[in-house]
Homo-oligomer: A and B are copies of this chain.
Amino acid sequence: MPRTHSEVIVAGIGQTPVGEHWDLSLRQLATHAIFDALDQAAGLRPQVMYVGNMLAATASRQANLGALLTENAGLSGIEGVTVEAADASGGAALRMAYLAVLSGAVDVAIAVGVEKYTDVIGPESETLLSQMLDADFEAAQGLTPISLAGLLFHRYLAEYSADRAAFGGFPEVAHANGATNLNAMFQRAMGAGVYQKRASKDAQVLNLFDVAPYADGAAAVILAREDALPEGWPEKRVRLIGSSLVTDTLSIHDRPAPLVWDAARLSVERACRAAGVMPKDLDFFEVHDATSLHAALSLEAAGFASQGQGWMLAKDDVIGLSGQIPISTFGGLKARGHPLGATGIYQAVEAVLQLRGEAGANQVQGARLGLIQNLGGMAATAAAHILAI
């Protein structure tokens, strides 16, 4: 018999502030988050470290982060590898850690997400991001992730006659939540009407407020098999009860319906099935709001809105902290920031804070069940995890 999912618990979390860390190297950033997580999991020593990262090889000319980061954390001799799935690398690393613990071969695993984006500046940085697209058929034509999202946004507005200005609800909620997250890149709420003013000018363009900022950051999560915990471990235990990772066609022009994100949908379905829960049971949903369009399509894919109607949920009383389905509770990619390969681990850390009731001003009251979803590129990869207390 395989182990049951209820045995995988989160034994420690750590995160650095997200932003431009000119003074910290990749290994320093990661080590801060790892040490914080190890401190929380006092007495547990990970046997494996999976590192979610996208840009180290190109931006920092550094491969083999598994060896580098186990070394820098004083953990040489354990297992350590990099897991990459564009900006879903963090979610993918969490998935690998989950499978390792589930396998029974490993008692304690640490999933680390780290990105040092600011090692590259200037036009080159945008080129690096295009790695997440199809190099031969998309990037070679000059497409970047944001320009491709812009094209999809055009199509979304045209196909569904969506209200352009309504999308402002996504960044408004995100920035409102980011304002009280000390680890967020932007800790300031948006002024009233700012978005509407901009949206009326650039009707079909994703504007500054629609696009999440790429950034530096590191976060870590320690998973443990429950029967490996030392005696006396606190009873308040966040459990990882569902996990999935799904791919879709990488080139968006090869998809039959580019505005229907199959991988995003399937990842939620599979994670929910594994966890034995329904989306309606969820108390919050950390979405991958790389753009406002991503937020709308993710809500549709997860079944919270019909196709073409995700934008209608962009209101505080629906997605705000006290809404029907709170999203981006610590600011999401938009306000907390989007450290690419680290983002999926930040989502996990934030979900744990919610479920432990340690979210402070960002607390979703009574949160007992949360979904986190990390997308790679235009949802070519979707990693979904369900956490519960």
CB pair A58 B60 closer than 8 Å:
no
Question: Of the candidates B57, B67, B246, which one forms a contact with A376 in the assembled complex, judged by CB atoms under 8 Å apart?
Answer: B67
- A251's nearest neighbour on chain B, judged by CB, is B71
CB pair B86 A2 closer than 8 Å:
no
Question: Of the candidates B57, B66, B81, B106, which one forms a contact with A57 in the assembled complex, judged by CB atoms under 8 Å apart?
Answer: B57
Residues of chain B within 8 A of A231, CB atoms compared: none
The complex places the Cα of A136 from the Cα of B26 at a distance, in Å, of: 10
Q: Let me know if A39 is at the binding interface, CB within 8 A.
A: no
Question: Of the candidates B63, B77, B86, which one forms a contact with A63 in the assembled complex, judged by CB atoms under 8 Å apart?
Answer: B86
Min CB–CB distance A79 → chain B (angstroms): 4
Chain B CB count within 10 A is highest, among A76, A81, A82, A104, for A81
Q: A63-B132, A381-B64 are in contact. Are A77 and B250 (CB under 8 A)?
A: no
Can you tell how many copies of this chain the complex includes? Answer: 2
- Decide if the interface of chain A is mainly helix, strand, loop or mixed: mixed
Q: A1-B1, A105-B2 are in contact. Are A254 and B71 (CB under 8 A)?
A: yes
The complex places the Cα of A81 from the Cα of B64 at a distance, in Å, of: 16
Among A257-273, those with CB < 8 Å from B are: 262-263, 266
The complex places the Cα of A103 from the Cα of B60 at a distance, in Å, of: 34
CB pair A247 B105 closer than 8 Å:
no
Q: Mark A347-389, 1 if CB is under 8 A from B, else 0.
A: 0000000000000000000000000000011001100000000
Q: Let me know if A40 is at the binding interface, CB within 8 A.
A: no
